[in-house]
Amino acid sequence: MSFTELMKTIDAPSGRLAFQLSKLSSLLEKTEEKYRLSSLGHGALEIFDAAETLLCSPDEHEYRTGIIVRKANSDDAQAIAEVTWSWVEKWYKNKLGKIVEASLEELTSDEIEAQAGGYSIPENLRTGIRDAPIRKEALYVVTVKGMLVGFIDFPFGCIEEPKSWGRRLFGLINIHKEYTNVDVALTLLQRAKEAALGLHAEYVEILPLVQSSKLLKSIESALDKFIGTRKIDYSYLRARVDEISTDYDATVQKGTEDTLLFQRLMRNRPITWANQFSHSAREDYKVEPEKGHMLITVNGKTCALTFYDEFIPNEASLELHSESEDWANKYFIQEATKAGTEIARKQGYTKIEIIVEKAYEPWFKELGFKKWEPQTEYEQLTSKSHEGHFWEKGPNYLLEVQRSTL
């Protein structure tokens, strides 16, 4: 527009408009007495657009014809749960000591969650959506022609990681089984990228809630539209504690003996990853030695070790946290793991699980860890009904925010 056209459009006095245009000179260029955005101005507009998408209320944006992303509200709880339920082919219940097929209506909330995950209980979702602002959490839903068909949740905000990972925004993603297509996935990923831009994150880390090839394929096809993405595969391993050698070259001390070191190590990205809702993802890294949190030292190098119970009786989940450069030291990792397994044995656990990036899988197999397989009748049935057990981990996808463009 010309100066006169701008002045009339925004209804501003000529002096004020001239002052503002001078302040915006780096974002503008003038041709034939008309103003337009410069290349830097277009970049600034994209940033403002991302910020508006992230912060405006109601937070709603139509990315593609008929496909809208908006912030979730408590009325969405039932539909979000149904997105998760869509992946469960059959439901099971324990009746008089026998595992039998059942209807959804026959199940308790705990039984539903055990077979479909934490996003399958509407009552929990309503509470979570209501309390999300307090936890700085954001849950967004995607609708197609008004029907809720998927969601992406940012449960922790941004997490500061070592240099190799950088500042990242972690997101959980799920799409209804009947709507797993590239456009829906692309819309959610674009929303994730814009949220990360608004929070000055370097990466978005995406974890699909369902390990179905149908869902993963749609996400991976959508990620092909972005520059700077990579897939990280994990292996889910388990061992009986009496199968792991007790002969280790490590010094073990309670975490409380050096609280600051313990907390600093726990802030590092572990190669073992048991649950994103575990201690390694919390802002407040309290040391609780009675739960088995330890410091393990091998040849002068120290890592933090944490235990917690998850889903399987008598089984501990083990996480190792160390300085980034120490993960390349096979001997260090193996000795720390052996020491941790021995601690688990002394605390009364019979089994131990560990989740590692696939590159490190051979190291743990040498110690006696094996691929996870359902062991009880209930596990066997539910893992078959659900396309990939809901607590089976990986892959994760890293989207590099600053370089990525559609």
Q: What is the pLDDT of residue 319?
A: 83
Q: What is the pLDDT of residue 287?
A: 41
**Which residues of the chain fall below pLDDT 70?**
48-59, 134-136, 160-165, 254-260, 262-264, 266-293, 308-313, 374-394, 402-406
Q: What is the pLDDT of residue 198?
A: 80
**Are 68 and 173 within one domain?**
yes
Radius of gyration of the chain from Cα atoms? 25
Q: Quick check: 337 and 320 in contact, CB under 8 A?
A: yes
**Are 249 and 339 within one domain?**
yes
Q: Which of 33, 55, 77 is the last residue of a domain?
A: 55
Model confidence over 201-237: pLDDT tens digits?
A: 888 889 898 888 899 999 999 999 888 888 888 888 8
Q: What is the pLDDT of residue 69?
A: 92
CB atoms within 10 A of CB 104: 13
Q: What is the pLDDT of residue 170?
A: 85
Could you give the CA distance from residue 375 to residue 25 in angstroms, rounded to a whole number? 68
CB atoms within 10 A of CB 156: 18
Q: Is the dihedral of CA 290, 292, 298, 304 positive or negative?
A: negative
Give domain status of residue 322, yes or no. yes
**Are 314 and 355 within one domain?**
yes
Q: What is the pLDDT of residue 388?
A: 44
Give domain status of residue 406, yes or no. no
**Are 294 and 206 within one domain?**
no
**Are 123 and 162 within one domain?**
yes
**Are 48 and 64 within one domain?**
no
**Are 205 and 86 within one domain?**
yes
**Are 228 and 260 within one domain?**
no
Q: What is the pLDDT of residue 258?
A: 58
**Are 277 and 346 within one domain?**
yes
Give domain status of residue 380, yes or no. no
Give domain status of residue 374, yes or no. no
**Are 88 and 192 within one domain?**
yes
Q: Where are the alpha helices (DSSP H) in 11-66?
A: 14-23, 39-55
- Position 111, amino acid: E
CATH number at residue 323: 3.40.630
Q: What is the pLDDT of residue 276?
A: 38
Q: What is the pLDDT of residue 277?
A: 36
Q: Is the dihedral of CA 334, 336, 337, 339 positive or negative?
A: positive
The total number of structural domains that make up the chain: 3
Give domain status of residue 38, yes or no. yes
**Are 330 and 203 within one domain?**
no
Only one residue has tokens 């403002």, namely: 48
Q: What is the pLDDT of residue 315?
A: 81
Q: Where are the alpha helices (DSSP H) in 134-273?
A: 182-198, 213-223, 259-266
Give domain status of residue 345, yes or no. yes
Only one residue has tokens 């609280």, namely: 259
**Are 287 and 336 within one domain?**
yes
Q: What is the pLDDT of residue 76?
A: 95
Q: What is the pLDDT of residue 8?
A: 87
Give domain status of residue 292, yes or no. yes
Q: What is the pLDDT of residue 151?
A: 96
CATH number at residue 116: 3.40.630.30
Give domain status of residue 372, yes or no. no
In terms of C-beta distances under 8 Å and separation of at least 24 residues, what long-range contacts does 65-68 make, across chains too? 66/144, 66/145, 67/142, 67/143, 67/144, 67/183, 67/184, 67/187, 68/142, 68/143
Segment holding 149, helix H or strand E: strand 147-154
Range of 103's domain? 60-233+390-400
